[in-house]
Amino acid sequence: MERDNFEIRDQDGAGRIGELTVPRAGVTVETPALLPVVNPHMQTVEPSRLESEFGADILITNSYILYKSEDFRDEALDVGLHELLDFDGAIMTDSGSFQLAEYGEITVTTEEILRFQHDIGSDIGTPVDIPTPPDVDREQAEEELATTQERLEFAETVDVGDMLVNAPVQGSTYPDLREEAGRHAEDTSLDVFPVGAVVPLMNEYRYGDMVDVVAGAKRGLGADAPVHLFGAGHPMMFALAVAMGCDLFDSAAYALYARDGRYLTVRGTEQLDDLDYFPCSCPICANHTPEEIREEGERERERLLAEHNLHVTFEEIRTIKQAIRTGNLFELVENRARAHPAMLDGYRALGDHAAQLERTDPASKGAFFYLSGESAARPEVVRHHQRLSRLNPEGKVLLTEGNPSSRYDESWNVVPPFGPFPRALSETYPLTAEIPDRMDAAGYESAARGVARLVDENPETDFTLAHEGWPESALTLVPDAVRTVDLTTV
């Protein structure tokens, strides 16, 4: 399906800076974007301030709460959402699917809720999908997905003017169902693609599973489909999710966490009660000590914490955008992954999908920093290895970490984690990588796999590998036909 409401400007891995055009709001939202969740009954930070002080140009609120509310329903229909919330940017509305998942039933159909969303002036509406939780049996996941798919097809037929409509992608923890759901959603005429029901994975710190679920959905969706990681509001995992190709996030966390005294950081969550110092320079943290905020009344404490939580959340989105511009999103993900073992699982799972990410990864970026064994699984390394199987050196060939030698027909460089390459390529990305002097086993092993790739493609060529003390785990990966010389012992 050709999409004219989303344009990609810059890419790094599967991460991108894009522009989501929201016609009904007359607004173009730059992605990755954060949608603060606004509860009409309980506005921790007023929407007008989200816009003016935090730079939010899109938010999300729940149309089902409005639909059921005696206080708000008529007013929302009367004056419209933008006036009700006092917000000029784009407004996305959820449909009550969350309530369905939480309480087992809701009393509205997709047609009713889509029309209601349209009538209250929502800019992006949502059908009533079935958010299937993780780990259910396959039969349940398939049945509920079929229901969601029927509702998406029905949603296509509801006349909602120029309101965009979400096409949630479900399928529980079955990557192949997520892929099928993505393909089906992609084939509808709907506009934005939330990957649904991932909140339980986040809450249990199952970032590896989250990456597999998103990777499945992304395989089904087209590369130019805007993807929303629904319910994901913790800034510690934004960089990872963006690198997988997520464009939109929504945060209820800023307010919910504030309510129980929790303080968000890009390295995880702290309890206000445990803090002696604030590791942050936002206006709240610059002007208060933790103790001062603890001494405030409950409402004020909650507001101050919520504002810090929002500041750190928006800051992370800006940090990620700049990383995409600079071409060091993977270095940022790697850095964030070091904050928690579960994040490291997420980053390692990202490495499992490197070939998928490679397709949209730019051929050239600023610099490749090798920061850990996980760097050896980056898309750039996958691409270099693919390229090695297309190169055909002939005669006697020296692959060396040291100096070239005239005793050979050709001398190629060898650099971990990439492996061998013709000397003429040594000034091209990513072979200009900054690597540590004390390389780890994963880097050497990856280089050895590169050697094997080249040798397999060129069985007639006579290869010698001159290495600087590679570990046994790497040398065993080098084909037997290759003569090896340890430069540290000659």
Residue type, 221: L
197 among the known binding-site residues? Answer: yes
Q: Minimum distance from CB of 308 to Zn ion (Å)?
A: 4
Site string for Zn ion, 242-281 (x = CB under 5 A): --------------------------------------x-
Query: Which of 178, 301, 308, 453 forms a contact with Zn ion (CB under 5 A)?
Result: 308
Q: Where are the alpha helices (DSSP H) in 106-160?
A: 110-119, 138-157
Q: Which is nearer to Zn ion, 176 or 291 (CB)?
A: 291
Q: Which is nearer to Zn ion, 118 or 308 (CB)?
A: 308
Separation between Cα atoms, residue 236 and residue 84, nearest integer Å: 32
Q: Which is nearer to Zn ion, 265 or 328 (CB)?
A: 265
Site string for Zn ion, 449-488 (x = CB under 5 A): ----------------------------------------
Catalytic (active site) residue 94: yes
Task: Assign 466 to helix, strand or coil.
Answer: strand
Per the CB < 8 A criterion, the answer to whether 445 and 473 are in contact is yes
Closest CA to 463 of 449, 480, 477: 480
Q: How many chain residues touch Zn ion (CB under 5 A)?
A: 4
282 among the known binding-site residues? Answer: yes
Based on the shown chain and the rule CB under 5 A, indicate whether residue 282 belongs to the binding site for Zn ion. yes
Non-local CB neighbours of 65 within 8 Å, separated by 6+ positions? 39, 40, 41, 72
Q: Minimum distance from CB of 416 to Zn ion (Å)?
A: 40
Q: Minimum distance from CB of 292 to Zn ion (Å)?
A: 13
Query: Which of 84, 130, 285, 398 forms a contact with Zn ion (CB under 5 A)?
Result: 285
Choosing from 94, 123, 250, 345, the catalytic residue is 94
Other CB atoms within 10 Å distance of the CB of residue 146? 12
Non-local CB neighbours of 329 within 8 Å, separated by 6+ positions? 12, 13, 15, 239, 242, 243, 320, 323
Task: Please write down the HEC assignment for all residues of 17-49.
Answer: EEEEEECCCCEEEEECEEEEEEECCECCCCHHH
Q: Minimum distance from CB of 281 to Zn ion (Å)?
A: 7
Q: Which residues are annotated as a binding site for Zn(2+)?
A: 280, 282, 285
Binding residues for substrate: 129, 197
Residues that bind Zn ion (CB under 5 A): 280, 282, 285, 308
Residues annotated as catalytic (active site), given as ranges: 94
